[in-house]
Amino acid sequence: MGHAVTQANNGAVAVYRVDAARFDGVILDLGLPLVDGMTVLKHIRQHHAALPVLILTARDGVEDRVTGLNAGADDYLTKPFNVAELQARLAAMLRRSQLPAFAGAPGQARGVRALD
């Protein structure tokens, strides 16, 4: 889809990278080593409130999805997933983040990055 991607192999690196650079959106796995994905999500919401986050995880229970969305995720997709659906959800999330209500909001940037 032409997105630039930055990868983080663990949650500590994810937190560092999201603080060190500007991103249009984040694809976040909850099962990260060192610092779990929910902790990363909470950090993003505290420090980059408008940054769109799509959780992509194997945790597929209703309670897991509700917890992730209530913690601040903009979308939640479970593994295994269809690539076309991931692309559509990512495009919709990024499209929503460009609406006038989000103009100039903290965390806005250019260049899509994924942290997983």
Q: What is the pTM of this model?
A: 0.83
Domain range list for the chain:
11-100
pLDDT-derived band at 23 (thresholds 50, 70, 90) equals very high
**Can you give the pLDDT at residue 107?**
45
For residue 55, the 8-state DSSP code is E
Distances (CA, A) of 60 to 63, 64, 67, 77, 81: 8, 6, 11, 8, 11
**CATH number of the domain at 11-100, please?**
3.40.50.2300
Do 11 and 33 contact (CB within 8 A), yes or no?
yes
pLDDT class of 3 with cuts at 50, 70, 90: confident
Number of H helices and E strands in the chain, helices first, is 4, 3
C-alpha to C-alpha distances, 98 to 8, 16, 71, 105, nearest whole angstrom = 25, 25, 22, 10
